[in-house]
Chain A
Amino acid sequence: MSAKEHSGDYFIPDPSPWPIIGMFSLLITLFGGALAMNGVSLGSYLVVAGLLMFFYLLYGWFRDVIKENLSDCYNRQVDTSFRMGMFWFIASEVFFFLSFFGALYYIRNIALPWLGGDGYLGVTNEILYHGFENAWPSHGPGELGGDFLPMGAWGIPAINTLILLTSGATITWAHWGLKLDNQKQLVNGLIATIALGVFFVILQAYEYGHAYQELNLTLETGAYGSTFYMLTGFHGFHVTMGAVMLMAILGRSMKSHFSAHNHFAFEAVAWYWHFVDVVWLGLFVFVYWL
């Protein structure tokens, strides 16, 4: 790599077009999104175009990174940079989810009791919402979205918990395989993890259908519907992303890109998968169960 000559030990990549493509893809996607949400039909085409560009960017950027990795550009210090970078990225994701958990906490423990007449602000209840009682699940004093049934915890959600916990075990098993240079165990472990992830997403989709059609539990179902879909929806999106990342890792594992000592990409995705797993546990306890 020519770049190595001028950068000493630490690999500094050559100038790269990907960041600026990233700028255009994000701008086009979000510009289109804003238009589409307000009924401008051009918007959705722009969203599709922007997303295609974004996927092209992901493909190209990661292809460059893989190429550099395979030609031994990365020393131990670069590897540490990647690890730390992934760690702090996941930290930021944790706080993204915390905002939604915080909203759930606030609505259940502060907003609804107020509306129900608790504390010194109980006068709100007298004047605005007389007769409203604080309870959970709630679609608020306006009974937005009409009558609904809440989602139980011990059906599909409990199965999904088992699925994700098992997938956490299978990916660790795959990691052990990688560390022992056991290609077969690595690939099988990954395939099992992906299968479990996909199964999870399918069950979630089925659950959404069930909620919309039989429980009348929709996004419009007041605070309960809002928090339920926002939290499970963003989580499901992350599981989907995680599964796609796992597929990429599976492809690379089959090409024997990883060795027992050089497999940051595998570990990054595994961390991400565990993070998604932990978020689910929070969801199961606070959204479905309690």
Chain B
Amino acid sequence: MTTTTLNHDEAHHHDMPTGWRRWLFSTNHKDIGTLYLLFALTMLFLGGASAMLIRLELFQPGIQLLDPDLYNNLVTNHALIMIFGAVMPAAAGLANWMIPMMIGAPDMALPRMNNLSFWILPAAATMLILSFIVPFFPGGGTQINTGWTLYPPLSVQVGMSMDFLIFAIHLLGISSVLASINIIVTLLNMRAPGMTLMTMPMFCWTWLVTAFLLILVVPVLAGGVTMLLFDRHFGTSFFDAAGGGDPVLFQHLFWFFGHPEVYILLLPSIGVLSHVIPAFSRKPLFGYKSMVGAMLTVATIGMVVWAHHQYTIGMSLGAVTYFMIGTILISIPVGLMIFNFIATMWRGAMTFETPMLFAVAIVLMFTFGGLSGVMLAVVPADMQYHDSMFVVAHFHYVLMPGAVFGLFAGVFYWLPKWTGHMYDETLGKIFFWTNVIGFNITFFPQHFLGLAGMPRRIVDYNMMFTEFNVISSIGAIIFGLSHLLLLYIVIKTIRGGKKAESRAWEGAKGLEWELDSPPAFHTWTVAPQIK
């Protein structure tokens, strides 16, 4: 604490940049973290709006609002905006804010590049949105009806909007690789003296593994869409069987990225949980070393099981068996993480503030999503579930609790630190319950729809699926509207509220809680000594 106060005095020597230059030219990890989070929030609403339109269309059988191409265009954009625009930037925002404060570093290791990796995102979002609206202009070509997986040959036939999308993916890739380099270097080179890899906070570990995964798999996606671009415009035949290529090759390239991407979305939230659950159970995290081991195992196996997304393409028996066994093996380390969380709560003095409510919901609901994942991993069963609404239900149960609820938990947990104000706990709890109940009403019935045979990515459906679709759409309205409450809570907390102490939560541990709330513009300019 003494070191911190000393640094504040030092900080006043140099005036904080003000006005638009502070945000546009920033080299400060806290400001860049804020930018990331605000960008993610905006994208959350954009992606949410497209989801609302999808559910509105599916409220009744028949085609009411959207023609089939527009429907699939919305599905594509919903996925890409949520994954690349909302979840990944939000996780990067948490990393930017918290990692330097957690490890006692003055900033990220490469502050200017940090700003570049953020500012590429608005450019990418522009290209992404253009890919959605270009077809509405005369001469704009056909809509993107491929889904976010962009499988050829369909993606080779789509009009110019696909080129905007491919370039958007290039930009998103550059942004995440630069951000990952920065995070790895920060974690390896900037830890306060005395903090070893095996004593650094778990959130840092999860991001270290995530960043490794990003550096290894994002370039492969970039290569894949580059080949797609060449197939579209320069006459190559990577994905054309007539020239000796294979459309399935794209699926391999895509899922070599796409499957680790699931862990890229998941792990930062696991990191948040590893702070939230101990804080509100008032016990240290159970099994730190086994958490690290489990995470490394998940990441390693996760790199080599991608083809379980493509069981139906006609791989050899040996190949599908390998991918099935590998996939099911992943449930062991993931289960270990879940048991660690439960063991952390065991006999703890637990209280249920909003972050903890989300954490408990994650432990329950993510486990549920994981179990339907094991069902999908089994080859003969998957032949039935493939491309049905069951898959949609499964991955929303994995990604909403696994990734998004974790980010919500993180935001509520650290909001007092960032803003210096406590959020309104009652509103937080109302948000939690409407959000979680709305989510379950939306996606639980989709399991039944899928098992009964309703395919995904199709605008219309058989009359027999009506009831569950009506329930799902009503749930979606509750779920979607609940996020307005999130927006309100965040704005309200930024503007004022009960003053937060430096240790905003009684059970919170770690260097970040030794700093003021809100922290000074520059913190840990002199590294703290860790015993």
Which residues of A line the B interface, CB within 8 A? 2-3, 5-10, 12-20, 22-24, 26-27, 30-31, 33-35, 37-38, 61, 77, 80-82, 84-85, 88-89, 91-93, 95-100, 102-103, 106-107, 110-112, 114-115, 119-121, 128-129, 138-142, 144-145, 218-220, 222-227, 229-230
Among B11, B185, B248, contact of A88 (Cβ-Cβ < 8 Å): B185
B122: chain A residues at CB < 8 Å are 23
User: How far apart sit A145 and B14, CA to CA, in the bound complex (Å)?
Assistant: 65
Among B188, B238, B243, contact of A84 (Cβ-Cβ < 8 Å): B188
B256: chain A residues at CB < 8 Å are 99, 102
User: How far apart sit A139 and B500, CA to CA, in the bound complex (Å)?
Assistant: 68
User: How far apart sit A138 and B245, CA to CA, in the bound complex (Å)?
Assistant: 10
A27 touches B126 (CB 8 A): yes
B13 touches A99 (CB 8 A): no
B245 touches A14 (CB 8 A): no
B22 touches A223 (CB 8 A): no
B111 touches A12 (CB 8 A): yes
In the A-B complex, list the 6 residue pairs whose CB atoms are closest, starting with the nearest: A99-B223, A142-B242, A140-B244, A223-B244, A15-B25, A222-B243
Instruction: Please name the residue on chain B nearest to A225 by beta carbon.
Output: B236
Instruction: Please name the residue on chain A nearest to B31 by beta carbon.
Output: A15
A85-B110, A96-B223, A99-B219 are contacts. A110–B185 as well, Cβ < 8 Å? no
A111 touches B246 (CB 8 A): yes
Among B112, B184, B190, B221, contact of A13 (Cβ-Cβ < 8 Å): B112
A222 touches B522 (CB 8 A): no
A15-B21, A34-B167, A223-B237 are contacts. A81–B14 as well, Cβ < 8 Å? no
A10-B106, A30-B171, A140-B237 are contacts. A111–B218 as well, Cβ < 8 Å? no
Check if B115 is an interface residue, CB within 8 A of chain A. yes
A12-B106, A23-B123, A92-B219 are contacts. A2–B14 as well, Cβ < 8 Å? yes
Which chain B residues in 152-197 approach chain A with CB under 8 Å? Answer: 159-160, 163-164, 167, 170-171, 174, 177, 180-182, 184-185, 188-190
A3: chain B residues at CB < 8 Å are 14
A20 touches B235 (CB 8 A): no
User: How far apart sit A237 and B22, CA to CA, in the bound complex (Å)?
Assistant: 37
A107 touches B10 (CB 8 A): no
B189: chain A residues at CB < 8 Å are 77, 80-81, 84
A15-B26, A95-B220, A112-B244 are contacts. A26–B163 as well, Cβ < 8 Å? no
Instruction: Please name the residue on chain A nearest to B13 by beta carbon.
Output: A5
Which chain B residues in 1-57 approach chain A with CB under 8 Å? Answer: 7, 10-11, 13-14, 17, 21-22, 24-28
B120: chain A residues at CB < 8 Å are 22-23, 26
Among B163, B216, B224, B243, contact of A139 (Cβ-Cβ < 8 Å): B243
A97: chain B residues at CB < 8 Å are 223
B227 touches A19 (CB 8 A): no
A38 touches B243 (CB 8 A): no
Check if B116 is an interface residue, CB within 8 A of chain A. yes
Check if B325 is an interface residue, CB within 8 A of chain A. no
User: How far apart sit A163 and B150, CA to CA, in the bound complex (Å)?
Assistant: 40
Check if B230 is an interface residue, CB within 8 A of chain A. yes
B237 touches A222 (CB 8 A): yes
B235 touches A219 (CB 8 A): yes
Check if B222 is an interface residue, CB within 8 A of chain A. yes
A103 touches B227 (CB 8 A): yes
Proximity string of chain B (345-375) to chain A, C-beta cutoff 8 Å, 1 when within and 0 when not: 0000000000000000000000000000000
Which chain B residues in 384-419 approach chain A with CB under 8 Å? Answer: none
Among B11, B21, B24, B229, contact of A6 (Cβ-Cβ < 8 Å): B11
Instruction: Please name the residue on chain B nearest to A226 by beta carbon.
Output: B236
Q: DSSP majority for the B interface? A: helix
B240: chain A residues at CB < 8 Å are 140, 142, 144
User: How far apart sit A111 and B241, CA to CA, in the bound complex (Å)?
Assistant: 8
B526: chain A residues at CB < 8 Å are 8-9
Q: Chain A's nearest CB lies how many Å from the CB of B528?
A: 11
Check if B215 is an interface residue, CB within 8 A of chain A. yes
A103: chain B residues at CB < 8 Å are 223, 227, 238, 249, 253
Proximity string of chain B (518-531) to chain A, C-beta cutoff 8 Å, 1 when within and 0 when not: 00001001110000
Q: Chain A's nearest CB lies how many Å from the CB of B42?
A: 16
User: How far apart sit A85 and B127, CA to CA, in the bound complex (Å)?
Assistant: 28
Q: Chain A's nearest CB lies how many Å from the CB of B249?
A: 5
A95: chain B residues at CB < 8 Å are 215-217, 219-220
Among A16, A88, A223, contact of B115 (Cβ-Cβ < 8 Å): A16
Instruction: Please name the residue on chain A nearest to B122 by beta carbon.
Output: A23
User: How far apart sit A224 and B244, CA to CA, in the bound complex (Å)?
Assistant: 8
A144 touches B223 (CB 8 A): no
A96 touches B227 (CB 8 A): no
Check if B233 is an interface residue, CB within 8 A of chain A. yes
Q: Chain B's nearest CB lies how many Å from the CB of A157?
A: 21
B235 touches A89 (CB 8 A): no
Which of B10, B112, B130, B182 has its CB near the most chain A CB atoms (within 10 A)?
A: B112
Check if B252 is an interface residue, CB within 8 A of chain A. yes
A81 touches B110 (CB 8 A): yes
Check if B316 is an interface residue, CB within 8 A of chain A. yes
User: How far apart sit A139 and B238, CA to CA, in the bound complex (Å)?
Assistant: 11
B24 touches A20 (CB 8 A): yes
Check if B107 is an interface residue, CB within 8 A of chain A. yes
User: How far apart sit A222 and B243, CA to CA, in the bound complex (Å)?
Assistant: 4
Among A6, A92, A112, contact of B522 (Cβ-Cβ < 8 Å): A6
Check if B314 is an interface residue, CB within 8 A of chain A. yes
Q: Chain B's nearest CB lies how many Å from the CB of A11?
A: 9
Which of B22, B119, B230, B237 has its CB near the most chain A CB atoms (within 10 A)?
A: B237
**Can you list 14 A-B pairs with a CB-CB distance of less than 8 A?**
A8-B527, A14-B17, A16-B112, A19-B119, A20-B119, A30-B170, A34-B127, A34-B160, A92-B181, A103-B223, A107-B245, A140-B244, A219-B236, A226-B238
User: How far apart sit A272 and B526, CA to CA, in the bound complex (Å)?
Assistant: 34
User: How far apart sit A26 and B190, CA to CA, in the bound complex (Å)?
Assistant: 30
Among A10, A89, A141, contact of B244 (Cβ-Cβ < 8 Å): A141
Given contacts A15-B27, A107-B249, list 13 more A-B pairs with CB under 8 A. Answer: A5-B10, A15-B25, A23-B119, A26-B174, A88-B215, A111-B249, A119-B316, A120-B316, A140-B245, A226-B230, A226-B243, A229-B236, A230-B230
A88: chain B residues at CB < 8 Å are 180-181, 184-185, 215
Among B127, B160, B188, B216, contact of A37 (Cβ-Cβ < 8 Å): B160
B242 touches A144 (CB 8 A): yes
B25 touches A20 (CB 8 A): yes
Instruction: Please name the residue on chain B nearest to A12 by beta carbon.
Output: B107
A85 touches B182 (CB 8 A): yes
User: How far apart sit A169 and B26, CA to CA, in the bound complex (Å)?
Assistant: 42
Check if B497 is an interface residue, CB within 8 A of chain A. no
Among B13, B105, B215, contact of A92 (Cβ-Cβ < 8 Å): B215
A129: chain B residues at CB < 8 Å are 241
Check if B109 is an interface residue, CB within 8 A of chain A. yes
B522 touches A7 (CB 8 A): yes
A12 touches B522 (CB 8 A): yes
